[in-house]
């Protein structure tokens, strides 16, 4: 299916669940409501016209600093700041982050049968950051969701085993959040048997 | 499973107390080329369940990418899958080019394909060699590393580095192929083919090897897809999915090659798929070297409308900025650099997207200015706001880069879709029901690369 | 004169040093990219065996030299210190690659800024990753060091580690 047909198929099925959609640089994206995430995902996986049997990737983005950075690191020491760059008008502009919530969980799907790709983003609020787990539909989501929990602190309801995966157990905080300083180290913790 | 239950009941009947044994393997273990910890629960020699712990090489790739400019991410991508760094370079560059909406010249595509495939051969050689070594076939390892050395010398001739190459640039590659590349390439492939033939002779019909590989670590096609497995591992299970064929990028759609697939999805199939893929990769390189067109290797910059320098100064003095927008001054020979070609769609002060070749950066003022302005934070490339995902076929499977830009000088978020992460997540399932000794060949067939797994 | 080493002990030291430097049993603690170059060095092309260091022992208790090859993360550091503790004296440590020397360009929350913050290091081999020639050079430097070491000498102990490494 072409990107637009894909979006039409999903939007038709879930007129309330899909809040917005766009095609940017040829990538179709649907923005789904957190409430209807599981339903939408199951539809994507099982519908004969979609058959998104491969969960390519599951990650998250912290949009809290989006377009707020001064980008003036080079001149920061001298007190001179450089304004944000002039934006070149894009021929097909991107509509922006999904919603005003802090986080967004991003799913990339691929269909082995129909050879089409779809991106689904789900906005997640800062307080009570939690969405439904899709690990029951794709076992691949198990570790990927653990990673998102580890890096962003977004919880997944119904996940079989939600614990840290890349960082160690004693680590405090979630390093890929924009408010975690890149150089903030924590004390070494001994090996645990 | 039935044997298991009967033995337990027999033990119980005799009043024997049987217990499961916990076995910890790793994170530093001789038979593991890579740091990962496997805690296995054993019943006799049978593995009941395993807990795989990763993250021992987490070094913050994704966080670091947010702190450097777009071209500065390149060295970090080298160190993701360090067996085949060029494929990572290509993946990231193509994702960025998609975001920026620029096209690279034909020749650049061909060079990327050639070097990706050479890297893929090196990666498979390492994987098969190290896997065989862990099963006792040390000779194969020595032979394969020897072949890899020939390929690395080839890579060194092109890029100047053996493995951490940083050869690609957003918008091109660092430099053209050397003039006499065909001959060393032919020689290296000759050696590699010899080694592959030798390895076939030493392994493929070797009783010890086949006994330990066949029927071990089996995963069905449905399970493999459900776990998100791609690449040679999935093809070993009989699914003909290859990003190079199914979502062709660069010039793969113009090159004829076969995608080998297995039937049973055991370790032996994956070994055979990798061996055949090396042959196919060499075929691709040979075809690409035959078809490669001439021309530039970096994005063609458009030359702005030439305006005589004096006229431009006058226009600027009266504030008529619109009249000089998009133009470039035609200056005398003493003011070199002002006539530099521009790429109007690139939001960088220098209007160019790629870092100049090193000989230009060190050799002339234009190149130096271009380099300097692009590496200064706040002056480099500024991609438009947006998000893209771009997959390439890495040596382990689909390697995807998901880049989000907020219009600033560095990426807002760079996410890598690491192919062996998915395979490692299925490791528990692969090992379940096999014996303890099967951990080594199964783990070897995964080709776990710490840099890409933990990032 | 009492503190001066006698003729006999210096000759003995020399003989011991000579024997030790050509029988290096190394423990390759391979974590990352540098491991690829380590393999290249150890295999036939560069052949580390010529220097008497051809037999890697993957068991810390039987090894003399700890080759720390590749980035050490905070999750891995305690494992590394334990392995170092398990090695019997006399032991030497080689920091292989820039990540183990200084942390390299991974200056972030996850990585240890050089393994000399957690253990004493004898030879640093910088490079990202170092070329095999450089590794061999580092190995020869280590051999010199072993040769000139007094068997009665006291090994330096690791400096106290600060509680928290704040940026």
Out of A62, A94, A108, name the one closest to residue B386 (CB). A94
Nearest-by-CA chain B residue for A180: B63
Residues of chain A with C-beta less than 8 angstroms from the C-beta of C79: 191
Average pLDDT over residues A107-120: 89
Q: Is the pLDDT of residue A152 over 60?
A: yes
Instruction: Output B224 or B298, whichever has higher pLDDT.
Output: B224
B66 CB near a chain C CB, below 8 Å?
no
In this predicted structure, what is the pLDDT of residue B124?
92
What's the mean pLDDT in A7-27? 84
Select the residue of A168, A183, A187 nearest C75 (Cβ to Cβ): A168
Tokens of B428: 């528990």
Residue B347 burial (CB < 10 Å; 0-12/13-18/19+)? buried
- What's the rounded Cα separation, in Å, for the pair A61 and A121? 10
Q: What is the pLDDT of residues B265-295, one digit of tens each?
A: 888 999 999 999 999 999 999 998 888 887 7
- Contact (CB<8Å) B62/A176: yes
Paired tokens of B430: 């692969």
Which of B54, B66, B388 lies closest to A165 in CB terms? B54
Helical pair B182-199 and B106-134, crossing angle rounded to 10 deg: 30
For an interface test with A, give the residue of B385, B401, B455 to mutate (most A CBs within 10 A): B385
pLDDT in tens, B34-50: 788 888 888 888 888 88
DSSP designation for C87: S
The residue of chain C with its CA nearest to that of A182 is C108
Q: Inter-chain contact B410–A167, Cβ cutoff 8 Å?
A: no
Binary contact (A183, C167; C-beta < 8 A): yes
Sign of CA dihedral C120, C125, C128, C132: negative
Mean pLDDT of B64-87: 86
Nearest to A59 among B377, B410, B415 (CB): B415
**Beta pairing partners, B306:** B328
State the nearest Cα–Cα gap between C18 and chain A, in angstroms.
37
**Residues C85, C78: Cα–Cα separation, whole Å:** 11
Report how many Cβ contacts below 8 Å link chain A to chain B: 154
Over residues B99-119, the mean pLDDT reads: 86
- Nearest alpha carbon to residue C77 among A19, A168, B161: A168
Q: Is the pLDDT of residue C143 over 60?
A: yes
Give CA torsion, residues A144, A146, A150, A152, to 10 deg. 60
The pLDDT score that the predictor gives to residue B194 is 92
The tens digit of pLDDT for each residue in B218-256 reads 888 888 899 989 989 899 888 888 888 888 888 888 888
Q: Is the minimum CB–CB distance between B124 and chain C shorter than 8 Å?
A: no
> What is the reported pTM?
0.84
Q: Report how far residue B60's alpha carbon sits from residue A151's, in angstroms, rounded to the nearest whole number.
A: 10
Identify residues of C whose CB sits under 8 angstroms from chain B CBs: 29-33, 35-37, 39-40, 43-45, 58-59, 70-71, 73, 75-76, 79, 83, 99, 105-106, 108-111, 128-129, 131
**Percent of chain B at pLDDT above 90?**
10
Closest by alpha carbon to B168, among B354, B41, B426? B354
Task: Kindly identify which residue of chain A lies nearest to residue C76, measuring between CA atoms.
Answer: A191
Residue B5 has pLDDT above 60, yes or no: no
Using CB atoms, which chains have 3+ pairs under 8 A with A? B, C
Angle between helices C34-42 and B138-159 (to 10 degrees): 120
* Chain C residues 107-146 within an 8 A CB cutoff of chain A: 107-110, 112, 118
Distance from CA of C124 to the nearest CA of A (A): 23
**Chain A contact probe: residue of B60, B406, B417 with most A CBs at under 10 A:** B406
Taking CA–CA distances from A184, the nearest residue in chain C reads C109
Q: pLDDT confidence of C21, banded at 50, 70, 90? A: confident
For residue B209, CA distances in Å to A62, B226, B438 come to 48, 29, 12
Instruction: Tell me, letter by letter, the H, E, C secondary structure of B413-438.
Output: EEEEECHHHHHHHCHHHHHCCCEHHH
Which residues does chain C have within 8 Å of residue A170's beta carbon, measured at their own beta carbons? none
Give A74's pLDDT tier (boundaries 50, 70, 90). Answer: very low
C108 phi and psi, to 5 degrees?
A: -150, -175
> What's the pLDDT band for B1 if we cut at 50, 70, 90?
very low
What percent of chain B has a predicted confidence (pLDDT) above 70? Answer: 81
Contacts of B379 in chain A (CB under 8 A): 74, 82
CA of B152: which chain C residue's CA is closest? C40
**Facing B413 at nearest CB: one of A61, A73, A86:** A61
Subunit contact B33:C30, Cβ cutoff 8 A? yes
Q: Best interface-test mutation with B: which of C31, C41, C59, C111 has the largest number of B CBs within 10 A?
A: C31
Burial pattern B220-245, b for ≥16 Cβ within 10 A else e, equals ebebbbbbbbbbbbbbbbbbebbbbe
Assign A83 a pLDDT band (cuts: 50, 70, 90): very low
Is C155 an interface residue toward A (CB < 8 Å)?
no
- Measured distance CA(A118)–CA(A114) in Å, rounded: 12
The answer to which of A121-135, B121-135, B285-299 has the lowest mean pLDDT is B285-299
Tokens of A79: 């007190």
How far A13 CA lies from chain B's nearest CA (Å)?
24
**Which pair of structure tokens corresponds to residue B386?**
């947006």
Q: Which residues of B touch C39 (CB under 8 A)?
A: 126, 130, 145
C78:A182 CB<8 A: no
Complex ipTM, two decimals? 0.88
Whether residue C76 and residue B27 make contact (CB cut-off 8 A), yes or no, is yes
- The span from the CA of A174 to the CA of B315, in Å, is 54
Tell me which chain C residues have a C-beta less than 8 angstroms from the C-beta of B160: none
């Amino acid at each position: 299916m072409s990107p637009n047909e894909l979006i039409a198929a999903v939007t038709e099925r879930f007129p309330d669940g899909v809040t917005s959609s766009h095609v940017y640089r040829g990538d179709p994206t649907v923005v789904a409501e957190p409430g209807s995430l599981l339903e939408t995902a199951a539809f994507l996986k099982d519908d004969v016209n979609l058959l998104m049997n491969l969960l390519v990737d599951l990650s998250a983005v912290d949009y809290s600093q989006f377009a707020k950075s001064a980008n003036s690191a080079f001149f920061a020491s001298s007190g001179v700041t450089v304004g944000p760059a002039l934006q070149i008008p894009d021929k097909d502009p991107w509509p922006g982050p999904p919603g005003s919530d802090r986080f967004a969980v991003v799913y990339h799907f691929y269909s082995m049968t129909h050879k089409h790709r779809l991106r689904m983003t789900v906005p997640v609020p800062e307080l009570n950051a939690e969405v439904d787990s899709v690990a029951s539909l794709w076992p691949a989501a198990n570790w990927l969701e653990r990673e998102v929990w580890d890096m962003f602190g977004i919880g997944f309801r119904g996940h079989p085993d939600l614990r840290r995966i890349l960082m160690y157990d004693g680590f405090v905080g979630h390093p890929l959040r924009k408010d975690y300083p890149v150089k903030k180290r924590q004390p070494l913790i001994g090996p645990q048997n | 499973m039935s044997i298991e239950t009967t033995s337990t009941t027999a033990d119980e009947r005799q009043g024997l107390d049987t217990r499961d044994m916990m076995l910890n393997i790793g994170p530093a273990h001789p038979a593991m080329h890579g740091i990962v910890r496997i805690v296995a629960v054993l019943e006799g020699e049978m593995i009941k369940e395993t807990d795989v712990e990763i993250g021992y090489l987490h070094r913050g790739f994704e966080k670091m990418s947010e702190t450097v400019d777009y071209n500065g991410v390149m060295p970090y991508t080298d160190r993701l899958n360090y067996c085949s760094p060029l494929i990572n370079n290509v993946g990231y560059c193509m994702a960025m080019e998609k975001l920026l909406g620029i096209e690279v010249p034909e020749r650049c595509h061909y060079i990327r394909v050639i070097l990706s495939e050479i890297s893929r051969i090196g990666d498979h050689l390492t994987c098969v060699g190290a896997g065989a070594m862990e099963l006792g076939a040390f000779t194969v390892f020595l032979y394969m590393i020897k072949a890899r050395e020939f390929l690395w010398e080839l890579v060194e001739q092109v890029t100047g580095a053996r493995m951490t190459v940083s050869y690609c640039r957003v918008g091109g590659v660092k430099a053209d192929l050397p003039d006499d590349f065909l001959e060393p390439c032919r020689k290296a492939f000759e050696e590699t083919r010899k080694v592959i033939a030798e390895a076939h002779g030493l392994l493929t019909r070797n009783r010890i090897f086949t006994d330990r590989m066949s029927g071990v670590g089996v995963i069905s096609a449905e399970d493999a897809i459900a776990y998100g497995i791609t690449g040679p591992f999935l093809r070993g299970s009989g699914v003909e999915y290859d990003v190079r064929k199914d979502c062709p990028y660069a010039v793969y759609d113009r090159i004829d090659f076969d995608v080998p697939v297995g039937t049973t999805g055991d370790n032996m199939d994956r070994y055979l798929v990798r061996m055949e893929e090396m042959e196919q990769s060499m075929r691709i390189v040979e075809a690409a070297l035959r078809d490669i067109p001439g021309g530039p290797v970096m994005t063609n910059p458009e030359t702005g409308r030439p305006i005589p320098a004096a006229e431009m100064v006058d226009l600027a003095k009266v504030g008529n900025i619109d009249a000089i927008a998009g133009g470039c001054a035609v200056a005398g020979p003493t003011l070199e650099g002002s006539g530099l070609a521009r790429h109007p769609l690139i939001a960088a002060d220098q209007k160019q997207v790629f870092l100049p070749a090193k000989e230009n950066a060190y050799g002339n003022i234009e190149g130096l200015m271009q380099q300097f302005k692009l590496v200064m934070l706040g002056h480099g490339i500024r991609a438009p706001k947006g998000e893209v995902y771009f997959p390439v076929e890495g040596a382990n499977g689909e390697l995807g880069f998901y880049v989000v830009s907020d219009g600033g000088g560095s990426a807002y978020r760079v996410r890598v879709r690491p192919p062996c992460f998915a395979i490692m997540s299925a490791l528990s399932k692969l090992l379940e029901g096999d014996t303890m000794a099967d951990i080594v060949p199964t783990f070897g067939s995964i080709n776990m690369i710490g840099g890409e797994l933990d990032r | 004169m009492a503190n001066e080493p006698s003729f006999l002990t210096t000759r003995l030291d020399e003989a011991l040093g000579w024997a030790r430097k050509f029988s290096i049993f190394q423990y390759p603690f391979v974590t990352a990219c540098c491991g690829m170059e380590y393999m290249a060095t150890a295999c036939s092309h560069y052949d580390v065996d010529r220097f008497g260091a051809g037999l890697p022992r993957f068991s810390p208790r039987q090894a003399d030299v700890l080759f720390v090859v590749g980035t050490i993360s905070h999750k891995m550091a305690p494992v590394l210190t334990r392995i170092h503790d398990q090695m019997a004296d006399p032991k030497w440590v080689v920091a292989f690659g820039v990540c183990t020397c200084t942390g390299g360009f991974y200056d972030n929350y996850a990585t240890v800024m050089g393994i000399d913050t957690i253990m004493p290091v004898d030879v640093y081999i910088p490079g990202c990753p170092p070329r095999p020639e450089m590794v061999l050079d580092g190995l020869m430097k280590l051999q010199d060091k072993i040769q000139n070491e007094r068997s009665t000498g006291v090994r330096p102990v690791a400096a106290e580690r600060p509680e928290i490494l704040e940026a």
